[in-house]
Copies of this chain bind each other. A is one copy, B any other.
Amino acid sequence: MAASTLPQSLPATRVQRGWNFGPGPAMLPDTVVKRAQEALWCFEDTGMGIAEISHRSRRFLELALKLETGVRTLLEIPDSHDVLFIPGGATPHFSLIPLNLALARGTRRATYAITGHWSRLAHREARTLIDATIAIDADHDSDTRAIPELAHWSIDPEAAFLYYTDNESINGVEYPAPPAVRTPPLVSDMTANLFSRPVPIDRFDLIFAGAQKNLGITGLGIVIVRKERLHKAIAGWPSILSYGDWADSRSMHNTPPTLNWYFALLMVEWMEEQGGLPALATRNARKASILYQTIDQSGGFYRNTVSPECRSRMNVPFKLSTPQLTELFLREASQSGLFQLDGHRSVGGCRASIYNAMPEAGIQELCVFMNEFRRHAG
């Protein structure tokens, strides 16, 4: 059995693989990569690689069932909600949500809370389809970023939904808890923090996320949607845009991205091995706290301008005083095996994305490097 001897031939050390702080595509746990390597050559005892078996085969349908069951168990998803796996990441849902949750129900009203780059983009795309009002616009470059208190939101109670981005991965802003509104129903982009902590699913009509943070690799999106919001067909619109159609086909409207599903299953199994979402949430809070402490105690050498109560535990942006210093920091970090620390091209600076797969050891190494860099370059 050659495939089963494969993992032993791989390095146990991190000699080759550095700490990867990329925002997504993001770091995968070593064990997940090793399992994927094995399965690519030969999946279980099929005599075929995981990317080469039919999505209609018994083996793959078992895999699909394990994936859905695993996701349901980790997130404690009630029967009222369906779980869909749709190719293409998160962005398509900027359009599918207004189409399925507003237009298909005969309304053009929805309201958006803007706290950063992604919620702004979602609002812009929604406006091409519906009358999307703005509940808050807290996406400002100046001063401290914060999420206004609910009393200051302008919410249309007749709207089909209230849309917000639970974690703004570029700006590093994360809701401590979902907005405490009773109407309209909540819809949330949780691309960057789904699976990082427990979520009260029942409070949402829809949650979606691209897989490339905590659920594997790019090319796949997950949608958790209240069943009564599903519509089989939307007259005059292509069937690929209908969540109801995806639900009916059990996410196999057409040949699904099977390898991307497999990575999602490997991540689900890995999360179970880590103790599930409560354990991961504790670990993630501790990791983030160590990193923010290093930033805050740098005497202004590193700066994060997000208000403490809504600092992201997944994406930690920070700035140095000059572009030259930033460039030097990124170069020396990379030479030390600390990779992909550059901020999003729209904002510059630095950013450490520290999803589930990043262990505390990686954070510790980053903090040691940051302190040393400050001493010799500061």
A219 at the interface (CB under 8 A from B): yes
**Whole-angstrom distance between the Cβ of A141 and the nearest chain B Cβ:** 21
CA distance A259 to B56 in the complex (A): 22
**Whole-angstrom distance between the Cβ of A199 and the nearest chain B Cβ:** 22
CA distance A21 to B260 in the complex (A): 22
CA distance A49 to B15 in the complex (A): 13
Pairwise interchain contact A5-B9, C-beta atoms closer than 8 A: yes
A64-94 vs B, Cβ < 8 Å mask (1 yes, 0 no) = 0000000000000000000000011111101
Pairwise interchain contact A255-B52, C-beta atoms closer than 8 A: no
Q: Which residue of B lies closest to A36 (CB)?
A: B40
Pairwise interchain contact A10-B2, C-beta atoms closer than 8 A: yes
Pairwise interchain contact B16-A33, C-beta atoms closer than 8 A: no
Determine the chain B residues whose CB is within 8 A of the CB of A219 once the complex forms. Answer: 87, 219-220, 256-260
**Whole-angstrom distance between the Cβ of A159 and the nearest chain B Cβ:** 20
Instruction: Give the oligomeric copy count.
Output: 2
A250-279 vs B, Cβ < 8 Å mask (1 yes, 0 no) = 000111111110010000000000000000
Pairwise interchain contact A258-B25, C-beta atoms closer than 8 A: yes
A28 at the interface (CB under 8 A from B): yes
Pairwise interchain contact A11-B2, C-beta atoms closer than 8 A: yes
Determine the chain B residues whose CB is within 8 A of the CB of A88 once the complex forms. Answer: 87-88, 240, 254, 257
24 A-B contact pairs sorted by A residue (CB < 8 Å): A2-B9, A6-B6, A6-B9, A17-B42, A17-B47, A22-B48, A22-B52, A40-B40, A47-B337, A47-B339, A48-B340, A87-B87, A87-B257, A89-B255, A89-B257, A90-B254, A91-B254, A92-B254, A99-B238, A128-B239, A219-B220, A219-B257, A220-B257, A257-B257
